[in-house]
Structure 1
Amino acid sequence: MKWDVVIAGGGLGGCAAALAACRGKLRVLLIEETDWLGGQSSAQGVPPDEHPWIEEFGCTASYREYRDRIRSHYLNKTPVLASAKSSQFNPGEALVSKICHEPGVSAEVLLEMLKPHVNEGLLTIKLNTRILAGERRERNAVALELIHENNQSRVEAPYFIDATETGELLALLDLPYRTGAEAKSETGEPHARETADPLDIQAFTYVLAMEHRPGESHVIEKPEMYDYWKSCKPDIWPDAMLSFYAPHPHTGEKRPYSLFGEDGHFPLWTYRRCYSATQFEQGESGDISLMNWPQNDYFFGNIYDVSEEEKEKHIYRAKQLSLSLLYWLQTEAPLPDGGIGYPGLRLRMDVFNTEDGLAKAPYIRESRRMNAHVTVKEQDVSPSFHPEGLGTRFNDSVGIGSYSIDLHPSMSGNNYLDIPALPFHIPLGALIPVDADNVLGACKNIGTTHITNGCFRLHPVEWNIGEAAGEAVSYALQHHLLASAIREDEGHLTAFQQQLTDHGVEIDWPDGFKVTAETASRG
């Protein structure tokens, strides 16, 4: 089978890239390691983190269709109460998102969006497929070696898109990349480290889903590492990991949390609740909430650029941390009335359909990052550098986004960095590596720094990046030129940006739109 483009990774960026490439009538192979499409929104169990204007503007038309289809799934296929139905229905009534929903719904919706292209013969989706190796000749990627159900195969194409969660193709194709933090002398960023630290990589998290059934007992078997995690108190942490305390992301001070908002403290339950039972006709399920909290962030070791043994060790420990936090909540968490434990918390094995009840894949916040033609720096998004109220307007803009610079604790022992960022633009040059002619980035692996990764890693931005990558391959093949040449020729760049606009990609913020330093996005 001859492909026009092979997309490695079926997360939001990969799916958006596939939709865009198929829109251009390209023959596309989409490879995903798990059995679900959707990446952070599905297999990793992280509902959309979005900016305040998402319902009106600030995302691509296809991302808006994705959101609309999620709402339609609930409004048309589930017994939503008439009193709860609205054009801005939020399935989970969560604090984190205006459309917080069950992970499996994302996987189902994305498959529905892609299915017409499968039926047309343009798109082939290979789930449960890993990439074993990559082949590159000089500046061109040539082929990937895949394995699916113990069967190995080789695929070739004129273009490859890296939409993997960890920038895996960069490593497999032996392309230069960066990890962790750059030195301040390299980037000039006010919040950069004084010296570079490749291990200063943000925590990853294994998410699990819980239901609360008061008056019942659903206590899980005591996790093997429970005693270890119960006694664990890292130097950067204000209390034990298994507690209702964590550093405040903005100030670093000791911050009290609660499960249901007791004593007015931040309610972890409604934070990422993905199913709010009061909005639905009476059924068997109560509320369902996703555990992606400060207390189960795993910053004790990385799972890429390490040995397979080291990777498996940290995956196991990260899973044990999440399960131990659940067990602590069930058996030892202090209650407002002086009691202990919420035994009615039930691990919902069916939400992810996995043997241990945990997400199918870890939530990866920070990837390998390519050496790109453009690297977005803190100066490009900081209100301190842009009193006009918008980030740098790159002339090769292929999209827009907005979120705070939100860095979680890192493997090097650095704590949160959560500072304001202005609405920003996505430059095409950040998607194109300097050292390859036929490889593009489609998610967290693009030309950002450790600092700006913190505002470029969220759902609508990843989608926009992937869609722009798919469109760029389509335009490059149609006009018989390199993707990098699109931005180097004013005529081609203008035509390409018009193509994006025609397909519903917003490459600029609305006329007159700006924010003040005081109201700049903060996670």
Structure 2
Amino acid sequence: MSEHRTEILIVGGGVGGVAAALSALKMGRQVILTEESPWIGGQLTSQAVPPDEAVWIEECGASDSYRAFRQGVRQFYRQHPHITPEAARAPHLNPGAGNVGRLCHEPQVALRVLEGMLAPYLTSRQLRVWLNTMPVQVEVERDTIQSVTFRHVSEARQVVQAAYVLDATELGELTELSGAESVIGAESQAQTGELHALPQADPMNQQGFTWCFAMDYHEGEDHTIEKPAGYDFWRAYQAPFWPDRQLSWTYPHPITAKPTYRDLFSDPSSEAHKGDFWHYRRIVAGQHYVVSVPDVTLVNWPQNDYWLGPLIGVTPEEKEKHLGASKELSLSLLYWMQTEAPGQGGNGQGYPGLRLRGDLTGTELTHGLALRPYIREARRIQALFTVTEGMIGVEARAGQQGAEVFADSVGVGQYRIDLHPGSGGRGYVDVASWPFQIPLGALIPVRLKNLIASGKTLGVTHITNGCYRLHPVEWAVGEAAGALAAFSLKHRVPPSGVREKQLSDYQHDLTQLGVPLHWPEEYRLTPSPGF
């Protein structure tokens, strides 16, 4: 077992973890960044989900570092030897031309860009990055984390001592190991006063997760996979809140709950149709190339959301069971599309030309899906301040204009409150919110002095997690957390003291990093649109 020291330890190399590392490094601190998967980047890379962003992302509501990431992705494609001149010149190039967002891209491209952003700090060892490494033990004395023990995939173990420890894990594993006061699942209306909270708290009601995959299509060819072991179950399964079987083109509209039809390629003009799935999350658009390049789409759809059991607060065996079942669901969806899915006009017997693209997700030699499941909800710290629906929800604020203004804002975000069906049996909750701020108090635990939330582990509720969980917001949370740890080190004051006594100085440092703390008024008073 080897021992290491650093100033800031960031556990979890996803979106929030990378952003935290960047801000801490820019402020001159020493960082160790750990990640349990082979890739840094989380939602953007190992989970294979192109960013869900604010509608005004091109003009407002993102930090300089997040904009640098976005520009890096576009520049990567502009340098492709076979890109068309028109695509290369497009100022707002959308590489996949997907209609879910402005920057639909391949996961390994995001990986290369993020690695490039961190690379300047590796040579001097200001930064150390440990992949395939997960936390297994946390030592705490006098409400302070003394050390964190990690296990590498090779079974080698490392012990790290750090002045500040940031939890950027996908499920809040570090928070759980530390014994920090925390919350899982859904709170009750009595606990939070939220309009859309459940009547009774249910810790096991956690948002569904999704094991995404990429695929292309070659008409006339047969790339049908072996029939998944769980296919017969998923072929017959229908949830009580679902209008048809799971493996069908009909699903409930997330806002209205009305049955909605969306198939793979066709685009009828009927009001019930929402366009096709192929262009929804397309990450490679052949139209952008002067040579023949097949379109690739990313399957993160209602049909492969998994909600039959949670991942947090259960035994390791139970967690592995649900992870395995979610893989079976995604493979079953692919097999159904290849063999049985109705085609245009309801005719046909599947699309055998659909082909898994595990080469784009790092799994070509294994299961062909994403490296990791797409996680929407984590264990959340009990924070000095918790954001509730009444502070940001349009309906919950009962006619008030704009979200609550937080004096201790450390960033901004904008997205609907979007909860996917959960393991407690509840369907979609998708309601409008106002553009919001991220309060510093939500990053600071009520007791532990040197633990900082750096992603989905911040002080939000099951409901407000629905809009604080998206890529650019997770980036903003991480960026603020890394800067907070760096500021606390420089001024020798704990995070709670920064909030109480040196808030303006810390916020000044954030603005120097290019972090917006407020929405311009015309945006602040415009609620998030539906779709």
**TM-score exceeds 0.5:** yes
CA apart distance, 1:60: 0.7
- What do residues 119-167 of structure 1 show as CA deviations (whole Å, max 9, x unaligned)? 2320000001111111111310111111122211111111100000001
**Alpha-carbon shift at residue 83 of structure 1 (Å):** 2.1
Q: Give aligned pairs, total.
A: 518
Structure 1 unaligned regions, length at least 5? none
Where structure 2 has 5 or more consecutive residues not aligned to the other structure, the ranges are: none
Contact preservation (8 Å) 2:416, 2:430: yes
Confirm whether residue 302 of structure 1 aligns to residue 310 of structure 2: yes
Q: Under a length normalisation based on structure 1, what TM-score does the superposition of the two structures give?
A: 0.97
Match of 2:122, SS state, is helix
Which one-letter code corresponds to 1:312 in the other structure?
E
Kindly provide the amino acid, as one letter, of the partner of residue 169 in structure 2.
T
CA distance in 2, matches of 1:386, 1:11: 36
* 1:42, distance to aligned residue in structure 2 (A): 0.6
CA deviations 1:10-49 (Å, max 9, x no partner) are 0010000000111111110000011111000110011100
Tell me the equivalent position of 1:278. 287
Task: Please tell me whether residue 427 in structure 1 is matched to residue 435 in structure 2.
Answer: no
TM-score by length of 2: 0.96
Q: Distance in 2 between matches of 1:244 and 1:166?
A: 30
For 2:391, the aligned partner's letter is D
In structure 2, the residue matched to 1:317 is 325
Q: Which amino acid aligns with 1:174?
A: G
- How far, CA to CA, are the matches of 2:453 and 2:509 in structure 1? 19
Alpha-carbon shift at residue 78 of structure 1 (Å): 4.5
> Who is 2:376 aligned against?
365
Q: 2:391 — aligned with what? A: 380
Aligned residue identity for 1:279? H
Distance 1:189 1:314 in 2: 29
Structure 1 match to 2:277: 268
| 1:512 to partner: Cα distance | 4.2
1:29 is matched with 32
Q: 2:360 aligns with which of 348, 351, 362?
A: 351
What whole-Å deviation, never above 9, does each CA across 1:209-266 have from its counterpart, x for those lacking one? 1001112111111111111110111112111111101111001121111111332433
One-letter amino acid of the structure 1 residue matched with residue 496 of structure 2: S
8 A contact 2:23–2:482 mirrored in 1: yes
Q: Look up the match of 1:245.
A: 250
Matched, 1:102 2:102: no
The answer as to 2:204 corresponding to 1:187 is: no
Amino acid at match of 2:344: P
Tell me the SS of whatever aligns to 1:309. helix
Is 1:144 paired with 2:161? no
SS class of match (2:312) = coil
Secondary structure at the aligned position of 2:5 is classed as coil
Q: Which amino acid aligns with 1:510?
A: P
Aligned mates of 2:81, 2:240 — CA distance in 1:
47
Kept after mapping to 1: 8 A contact 2:222/2:353: yes
Match of 2:115 among 83, 87, 111: 111
Aligned residues of 1:245 and 1:255 also touching (Cα < 8 A) = yes
1:258 counterpart SS class = coil
Cα distance in structure 2, aligned partners of 1:44 and 1:199: 23
Q: In 2, are the aligned partners of 1:421 and 1:522 still within 8 Å (CA)?
A: no
Pairwise CA RMSD? 1.3
1:499 and 2:518 equivalent? no
Q: Tell me, in whole angstroms, the C-alpha distance in 2 between the residues paired with 1:78 and 1:163.
A: 36
Q: Distance in 2 between matches of 1:392 and 1:334?
A: 48
Q: Given that residues 16 and 478 in structure 2 are in contact (C-alpha distance below 8 angstroms), is that contact kept between their aligned partners in structure 1? A: yes
Q: 2:524 aligns with which of 490, 500, 514?
A: 514
Write the distance in 2 (CA, Å) between the matches of 1:126 and 1:77: 30
Query: Aligned residue for 1:76?
Result: 79
Structure 1 residue matching 2:9: 3-state secondary structure: strand
CA offset digits 1:361-391 (Å, max 9, x no partner): 1111011111001100101112242756421
Distance in 2 (CA, whole Å) between partners of 1:406 and 1:239 is 22
Distance in structure 2 (CA, Å) of the matches to 1:249 and 1:395: 33
Contact 2:184–2:312 (8 Å) recurs in 1 = no
**What is the one-letter code of the residue matched to 1:413?**
G
For residues 265 and 95 of structure 2, the distance between their equivalents in structure 1, rounded to whole angstroms, comes to 18
Q: Structure 2: which amino acid aligns with 1:232? A: Y
Maintained 8 Å contact 2:78/2:87: no
Any idea what SS the aligned residue of 1:22 has?
Answer: helix
Q: 1:331 to 1:161 in 2, by over 3 A?
A: same
Distance 2:530 2:155 in 1: 46
* Counterpart residue number, 1:176: 181
Shift, 1:520, TM fit: 2.9
Distance 1:223 1:512, change over 3 A: closer
**Secondary structure at the residue paired with 1:362?**
coil
> Could you tell me how far apart the structure 1 residues matched to 2:419 and 2:400 are?
25
What SS class does the counterpart of residue 143 from structure 1 fall into? strand
Structure 1 residue 403 corresponds to structure 2 residue 415: yes
2:442 maps to amino acid = A
Pick the aligned partner of 1:38 from 38, 41, 52: 41
Instruction: Give secondary structure in 1 for the equivalent of 2:22.
Output: helix
What residue identity is the alignment partner of 1:352? T
Indicate the larger mover: 4-13 or 504-513: 504-513
Name the structure 1 match of 2:476.
464
Please give the alpha-carbon distance, in whole angstroms, between the structure 1 residues aligned to 2:328 and 2:230: 6
Q: Which sits farther off after the overlay, 3-12 or 112-121? A: 112-121
Asked if the contact 1:90/1:101 (under 8 Å) is kept, the reply is yes
> 1:4 and 2:7 equivalent?
yes
Partner SS state of residue 262, structure 1 = coil
